Amino acid sequence: MDITKEFIENLPKVELHLHIEGSLEPELMFELAQRNNINLPFANIDEVKDAYNFSNLQDFLNIYYQGMGVLQTEQDFYDLTFAYIKKIASENVMHTEIFFDPQGHTERGIEFEVVVNGISRALEDGRSNLNVSSKLIMSFLRHLSEEEAFSTLEQALPHKDKIIAVGLDSSELGHPPAKFERVFAKARKEGFLVVAHAGEEGPPEYIYEALDLLKVDRIDHGNRALEDDALVKRLVADNMALTVCPLSNLKLCVVKDMVTHPLKEMLDLGLKATVNSDDPAYFGGYMNDNFLAVTKALNLGKDDILKLVQNSIEASFLNSNEKQDLQLRLDIFASTTCF
Ligand code: ADE
Ligand code: ZN
């Protein structure tokens, strides 16, 4: 029997790849622009949405960095983050691990503390008021220098209690993980877990570098691993999770259409693939829409979908008791839901 929309909506889910600045909906963008007296280059919300047509990652990033310019105060970061948590709570997401891009803000003169405190306070309220648990990952912008990444890491040190891991994002091509080997070594020494975007647009070599030089705990995206059989074998043997983002891949032309998306192939090869939304305000959907899109296009069955959530639980940065609790909630759903 076909998986229903209701099954996906009620499924307890876990998100591991979400850029909080990429959850800025056009409505909130306009509200914050007005609050902060900022002129947007768009007359209305429809014009903003019309601009969200991308041929590649860089096309998107240009608009993404422009959009985040409306975020000025701690309250703005709080409102952005709490709106995202409210949205995913309504979609039965139990736990989320979100990225933030401090350099996208400190470069504009916003204090690191303003950013991290606003986001963290909203995550805390999400935990206590909406029962959504969360972790925060600080991402370095890879188009900037190693020196700037080191300086950002220094600024994060007093906030170790709020930040579980560091990541690497932004323009992938021409900025291999090797560029940040020393920063990541320092971050690991300071006790941060580490992840990196690799193999979204970049070649399999970048995934090898993320593994060998950055010593990542997860790979973000990883689509292009499939071009290298030895790499696939290694990722399977290492039980290395890939945080895959289907609607993002479609919008950024990483895949031509959803029918050719590699998610099902990844699962069949034994890769620890997960489903995530990346930048949902820009790519047309949060977790439910991502699951629905791949379920329909790839004809996923109940076992595939449960496996995807189980992979996310196992690959999360929660402790083993917390993981057991989420797994129990998933098992109860699976055993009590007809589909
Ligand atoms: N920053 C926000 N979204 C991103 C993506 N999909 N890839 C790289 N950097 C990003
Ligand atoms: Zn991403």
- Is any atom of ligand 1 closer than 6 Å to the C-beta of 170? yes
Strands 218-221 and 165-169: unpaired
- Who contacts 241 (Cβ-Cβ below 8 Å, separation ≥6)? 16, 218, 219, 272, 273, 274, 311, 312, 314, 315
Global pTM reads 0.98
Short-list 229, 220, 237, CA closest to 265: 229
Name the residue of 169, 248, 255 to mutate for ligand 1: max ligand atoms within 8 A of Cβ.
169
Residue 338 lies in a domain: no
Closest atom of ligand 1 to 248 CA is 6
Residue 29 lies in a domain: yes
Residue 185 lies in a domain: yes
Name the residue of 16, 17, 19, 20 to mutate for ligand 1: max ligand atoms within 8 A of Cβ.
19
Closest atom of ligand 1 to 21 CA is 2
DSSP letter at 54?
-
The per-residue pLDDT for range 300-319, each reduced to its tens digit, is 999 999 999 999 999 999 99
- Who contacts 238 (Cβ-Cβ below 8 Å, separation ≥6)? 211
* Rounded-to-integer distance, Cα 230 and Cα 286, Å: 33
Residue 148 lies in a domain: yes
Q: Which ligand is nearest to the CA of 281?
A: 1
338 — pLDDT class (breaks 50, 70, 90): confident
The per-residue pLDDT for range 166-200, each reduced to its tens digit, is 999 999 999 999 999 999 999 999 999 999 999 99
Contact in structure between 315 and 16 (CB atoms under 8 Å): yes
Residue 233 lies in a domain: yes
Residue 336 lies in a domain: no
Q: How far is the CA of 198 from the centre of ligand 2 (A)?
A: 10
Contact in structure between 317 and 300 (CB atoms under 8 Å): no
Instruction: Give the count of domains, the chain.
Output: 1
Short-list 332, 330, 261, CA closest to 290: 261
- Who contacts 46 (Cβ-Cβ below 8 Å, separation ≥6)? none
End-to-end CA distance of the chain: 7
108 — pLDDT class (breaks 50, 70, 90): very high
Tokens standing for residue 299: 């004809």
Q: How far is the CA of 230 from the centre of ligand 2 (A)?
A: 25
Q: Name the active-site residue from 74, 172, 200, 209.
A: 200
- Is any atom of ligand 1 closer than 6 Å to the C-beta of 323? no
- The DSSP-derived string for 176-215 is -GGGGHHHHHHHHHTT-EEEEEESSSS-HHHHHHIIIII-
Closest atom of ligand 1 to 245 CA is 6
Q: Is 97 known to be catalytic?
A: no
Short-list 223, 292, 226, 228, CA closest to 252: 223
Residue 339 lies in a domain: no
The per-residue pLDDT for range 233-275, each reduced to its tens digit, is 999 999 999 999 999 999 999 999 999 999 999 999 999 999 9
The per-residue pLDDT for range 194-211, each reduced to its tens digit, is 999 999 999 999 999 999
Neighbours of ion ligand 2 (CB under 5 A): 278
CATH number of the domain where residue 132 is located:
3.20.20.140
Structural domain range at position 251 = 5-331
- Is any atom of ligand 1 closer than 6 Å to the C-beta of 22? yes
